[in-house]
Structure 1
Amino acid sequence: LEIKPTIIRDLEAAINATKGEPMTLTIEATGNPKPTVRFFRGTDELVATEGQIELKESEDGQTFTATILSIQPNQQGDYTATVQNTGGMAKSKKCKVTVTKTPTFIRTPQDLTVADKSEAIFESEIDAFPSAKITWLKDGKPLTVKEGVEIQAQADKGLYTLRIPQVDTTKHMGTIICRAENAIGTTEHPLQLNVTTAPTLKTQLKDLEVLRGQDAIFSIDIQGYPIPEIIWSRADKVLEEQNETIAFSDDRKQLIIRNVQIENEDEYNVRIVNEFGEVTSKAKLNVLELPEIQPLLEDKNIQIRQQIEYSTTITGRPLPEIQWLKNQKPLNASPPHINIETIEEDVIKTTLRIDNIQSDDDGTYTIRVKNRAGQKESSSKLNILAKLTFIKKIQDENVIQGQPISFQCQIEAIPKPKITFYLNDQELKSGGKIKIESKGDLNTLSFSKVDLIDSGIIKVIADNGLDKEEISAKLNVCLKPTLVGKPTDAQVSIGQPARLQCAFTGLPMPELKWSRADGQPLNEGIEIANDENQGIAALVFNTTTMADKGAYLVKATNLVGSVEQKVNLDIKGWCLFLFIYLFIFANKHYYLEIKPTIIRDLEAAI
């Protein structure tokens, strides 16, 4: 039974082959009779050639391969395969074969030793596809014609040359890198150009400052060939390696002094010598110590108006600079009551003293010390305390109704207290006619106007959590004395009794005082019959005389004012009455009518 060939595994769509290495095409197919497989590049059939192309078939007759044993760039292209038997033919898909190779040194450039100003030539052979870009580098930088070199390339043959017509020790001696790179990869090879010359130092030894206990490392960078001998010394004594203290790097370009101590501080020398000459260099080792503060500052609490001192000792190599700060601000221009004393010898002793401490001295005090080794600081929180005391108390106040009034107190206390005002044990708060304000240690309660109901006890309570104090004062809302009604002058006959009276009101009720308007004292026998509880001022004459005649003043006085009222007393003589009496009795037949006269009226007020 004839069965047309069937491809059961086709060629790969693409193969990236490496130049010079085997490349294999594989296809799997079935059919009856067993098919024949042919491979093509383009239209050219691949023919088995010893050492170049191998064609193979698996034992089961289904897998067929074609291998190019050393593929080259000219063998890139599209490959196909045909599978054929008597039943028919099947054709594979195309397989695109690409040939590349990462750069590889076939021949590396060799190290050279030449005399100064002579020629040096480095040659290399590199296999790569695509062709490699070649760069010659010294100290990480490409060499160009500016450095006095010539670069030649035969890329088709993979041959590359670096030529230095006149070797310059400074520019060219050392390690040169030959770098080859293409899109596939990069490779490089180091080579050594040695120039027979006396030793030179690229950089001199540098002075070192090292913390005590750390390692000190002196380093040199030298040139010279043959490779110079390096000899390290301290003063005039050659240094030998000691496991615990002195060590050298393998190339002896480093001197390592372990766990540096003060006694290691000195001048160190290096001598570099070969058959063409020698060079020397020296440097100093300075051992530093971090600043130390002993004792450290501690937080403190102190009562106001007392004195405090912070004293401490500062060490370090070199001796540190010191600075005192308050709340991170330098105390350079400190107030007169703050004094800083510093004594500098082998160590530094410093004292910060604050006399007559005030509330604004509260804060964080810091000593900061600094030298080349580093910086350190220590701080203390200074808490100023003051027992709660009223240094200005509120006072009793008498004020006229409708007028403003203020109560003010001054409190010394640290911590600052909470202040609460009360009127007759009722807490007062700002609002309406009441205003409460605090400025510093001064606290004020103000009434824009007062009413009679505001009379009572004003109390202040101060509480800071440590102490609690209270004070109080009276608020008397008053009315000025005023006259009630209009008093009546009195007119009596001599010898008769008389009474002068006025009524007053006020809050509190006024004090009442009588006097004569002419400034003379009251006559004997005159009775002052005031009732101050009722506001009644009364002057009683049990028997009047002509000396009692005149004007009298009554003055009503209370806490907020006074008022005066004048009352007149008129005394009539006996002559008129005697004439009328004789006339009536002598002429009994004659009837004389006399209109009634009130000689003592009712009191104006009772």
Structure 2
Amino acid sequence: TTQLPKQEETVSGKDVTFRVVVRGSPRPDAEWFFNDTPVAPENVSFDEEKSEYQLLLKDPTVTTSEGSYRVVFKNELGETDSTPCALTVLEPVKLTKVAPTTDIVDLKVGEPFEILADIDGKEVPKVQLTKDGKEVKFTSVEGIRHVYSVPEVKSEHQGVYKLTAKNKTSAEETSVTLNVTAPLEVSQPLSDIHVLLGQPGTLTLTCDAFPVPKVTWYFNDIELKNTTKHKIEAKPNLYTLTINKCDHPDVGTYRAHIANGIDNSEQTAKLHVGVKPKVEAPKPANDQTCTIGQDTQISWKFSGIEKPRVTWFFNGQPLEANERFQITETEDGTSTLSIHKAELTDKGVYTAKATNAVGEAEAKTTLNIAGIKPTLTNDLDATLQATKGESMTIKLSATGTPRPDIV
């Protein structure tokens, strides 16, 4: 005699047969029970050769077939009951992708992304979500509903997402390819630069985009390559072109072409190479004297590339041109301050300051104002006569600047 197994598993829709071998004389009758309810005799059979009693379950399902099975054997001498067998009906994995509805999704940075799937089966399937082969966690799992959501996608969310579900009976998978793009956004554009002759100059731009853009540099519409003269660098979002040992032939328009296969843009800027202003005199300071009331001039010559702009100061304060103070400049870089009818208050330090984009220089003149020596224009008489008891007047006159005191 053989017994039923204590447990049996089958897959939904796959026929299963219970078998029990019993010998007895006379041959016993067998009655099968499902959850203590007799089984219809048309599903029961007997193999004479093996003395095997069989129960065939066709197209089993969880609702119609899962439960406890046993068989009772009877003959004239008595009956015996088999050990019950618990049948479990397994169901294959059923994976239904609800969202997205396509296998390829194209989004822009900042847009929402969601994978939503219903996954069922018995036993409960093991579910895994991976991105480019690395596991990622679901945002939520409620019943059979599995959700992975990103409120605002970024470039790092791009990749191939694979959803896999498996149990003892089967496995299913689905995949979604997410492409993320970001339009070109130049947050720091190119700007003109002024560089000192012989020094390096760097053009810089900052650009956010995805896919990461390629920047091609041009000088006067000729493409530039990495050389000892030109150094091209690309760091995250930052693109630079450095021109080493800037000279006058490097002056011109530089252009950056930005492209990432989705969008493109161009930026231009000019490079200016200059020489600091210089005082064209043995010493950038001198002393000068002017007689009060006379006109005088203070001149300084400056060189530089680009031509420097000259401003004047008196005792450290800006000096504005007016009727008495006139400022003139010549092509050779000479700036002249003309003072009309000098006054004592004009005494002080005059500074000419030359400035251009790459530097500055200054020259100082200390102006002294000289007065005019007193001169008698009407002297005292050689002899004076006076009457006793009467008043008298003594007169003389003198000129000079400043006005002389008479004692």
TM-score by length of 1: 0.53
Give yes or no for the alignment of 1:535 onto 2:333: yes
Q: What is aligned with 2:310?
A: 512
1:272 Cα deviation (Å)? 5.9
Q: Is the 8 A contact 1:230 1:253 kept in 2?
A: no
1:559 Cα deviation (Å)? 1.8
Q: What's the CA shift string for 1:389-437, capped at 9, x where partnerless?
A: 2133233333323333433333222222222122332322222143222
Q: Is the 8 A contact 1:205 1:219 kept in 2?
A: no
Q: Tell me, in whole angstroms, the C-alpha distance in 1 between the residues paired with 2:28 and 2:257.
A: 91
302, 311, 314: which is aligned to 2:116?
Answer: 311
Give matches, 1:340-351, under 5 Å: 340-344=139-143, 348-351=144-147
Q: What is aligned with 1:435?
A: 231
Q: Is the 8 A contact 2:184 2:265 kept in 1?
A: yes
Give matches, 1:433-512, under 5 Å: 433-486=229-282, 496-512=294-310
Q: Tell me, in whole angstroms, the C-alpha distance in 2 between the residues paired with 1:304 and 1:401.
A: 44
Compared with structure 1, are the counterparts of its residues 525 and 258 closer, same or farther at alpha carbon in structure 2 (3 Å cutoff)?
Answer: same
Matched position secondary structure for 1:529: strand
Q: What's the CA shift string for 1:449-478, capped at 9, x where partnerless?
A: 433333333322211222111122333332
1:324 Cα deviation (Å)? 3.1
Give matches, 1:263-274, under 5 Å: 263-271=64-72
Matched position secondary structure for 2:84: strand
Give yes or no for the alignment of 1:217 onto 2:17: yes
216, 231, 234: which is aligned to 2:33?
Answer: 234
Q: What is aligned with 2:89?
A: 287
Q: Tell me, in whole angstroms, the C-alpha distance in 2 between the residues paired with 1:248 and 1:434.
A: 94
Give yes or no for the alignment of 1:407 onto 2:203: yes
Q: Tell me, in whole angstroms, the C-alpha distance in 1 between the residues paired with 2:254 and 2:301.
A: 33
Matched position secondary structure for 1:372: coil
Q: Tell me, in whole angstroms, the C-alpha distance in 1 between the residues paired with 2:122 and 2:195.
A: 74
Residue identity opposite 1:269 in structure 2: R
Compared with structure 1, are the counterparts of its residues 508 and 534 closer, same or farther at alpha carbon in structure 2 (3 Å cutoff)?
Answer: same
Q: Tell me, in whole angstroms, the C-alpha distance in 2 between the residues paired with 1:468 and 1:521.
A: 51
1:573 Cα deviation (Å)? 4.9
Q: Is the 8 A contact 1:249 1:255 kept in 2?
A: no
Q: Tell me, in whole angstroms, the C-alpha distance in 1 between the residues paired with 2:185 and 2:47.
A: 76
1:354 Cα deviation (Å)? 0.8
59, 62, 83: which is aligned to 1:259?
Answer: 59
Q: What is aligned with 1:324?
A: 129
Aligned Cα root-mean-square deviation (Å): 3.4
Q: Percent identity?
A: 29
Q: What's the CA shift string for 1:322-366, capped at 9, x where partnerless?
A: 33332333323xxxxxx722222xxx1232221121111112223
1:515 Cα deviation (Å)? 2.1
Q: Is the 8 A contact 1:232 1:255 kept in 2?
A: no
Q: What is aligned with 1:422?
A: 218
Q: Tell me, in whole angstroms, the C-alpha distance in 2 between the residues paired with 1:261 and 1:295.
A: 24
Q: What is aligned with 1:556?
A: 354
Matched position secondary structure for 2:156: helix
Q: Tell me, in whole angstroms, the C-alpha distance in 2 between the residues paired with 1:239 and 1:518.
A: 119
Indicate the structure whose relative CO is greater, using CA pairs within 8 Å and at least 6 residues apart: 2
Q: What is aligned with 2:184?
A: 388
1:547 Cα deviation (Å)? 4.9
1:556 Cα deviation (Å)? 0.6
Matched position secondary structure for 1:412: strand
Residue identity opposite 2:117 in structure 1: T
Q: Tell me, in whole angstroms, the C-alpha distance in 2 between the residues paired with 1:205 and 1:227.
A: 26
Q: What is aligned with 2:398?
A: none
Compared with structure 1, are the counterparts of its residues 289 and 506 closer, same or farther at alpha carbon in structure 2 (3 Å cutoff)?
Answer: same
Compared with structure 1, are the counterparts of its residues 547 and 267 closer, same or farther at alpha carbon in structure 2 (3 Å cutoff)?
Answer: closer
Q: Tell me, in whole angstroms, the C-alpha distance in 2 between the residues paired with 1:403 and 1:247.
A: 102
Give yes or no for the alignment of 1:365 onto 2:164: no
Compared with structure 1, are the counterparts of its residues 327 and 272 closer, same or farther at alpha carbon in structure 2 (3 Å cutoff)?
Answer: farther
Q: Which runs of 5+ in 1 are unaligned?
A: 1-199, 333-338, 580-606
Q: What's the CA shift string for 1:293-347, capped at 9, x where partnerless?
A: 2236532111111112222322223443433332333323xxxxxx722222xxx
Q: What is aligned with 1:526?
A: 325
Q: Tell me, in whole angstroms, the C-alpha distance in 2 between the residues paired with 1:404 and 1:271.
A: 101
Compared with structure 1, are the counterparts of its residues 441 and 494 closer, same or farther at alpha carbon in structure 2 (3 Å cutoff)?
Answer: closer
Q: Tell me, in whole angstroms, the C-alpha distance in 2 between the residues paired with 1:508 and 1:256.
A: 104
Q: Is the 8 A contact 1:300 1:381 kept in 2?
A: yes
1:229 Cα deviation (Å)? 5.0
1:538 Cα deviation (Å)? 0.9
1:231 Cα deviation (Å)? 3.0
Q: Is the 8 A contact 1:361 1:384 kept in 2?
A: yes
Residue identity opposite 1:284 in structure 2: A
Residue identity opposite 1:259 in structure 2: D
Q: Is the 8 A contact 1:530 1:539 kept in 2?
A: no
Q: Tell me, in whole angstroms, the C-alpha distance in 1 between the residues paired with 2:229 and 2:8.
A: 78
Give matches, 1:88-107, under 5 Å: none
Q: Is the 8 A contact 2:164 2:173 kept in 1?
A: yes
Q: What's the CA shift string for 1:53-110, capped at 9, x where partnerless?
A: xxxxxxxxxxxxxxxxxxxxxxxxxxxxxxxxxxxxxxxxxxxxxxxxxxxxxxxxxx
Residue identity opposite 1:530 in structure 2: E
Q: Is the 8 A contact 2:45 2:53 kept in 1?
A: no
TM-score by length of 2: 0.76
Q: Is the 8 A contact 2:155 2:210 kept in 1?
A: yes
Q: Which runs of 5+ in 2 are unaligned?
A: 377-407
Compared with structure 1, are the counterparts of its residues 269 and 371 closer, same or farther at alpha carbon in structure 2 (3 Å cutoff)?
Answer: same
Q: Is the 8 A contact 2:350 2:366 kept in 1?
A: yes
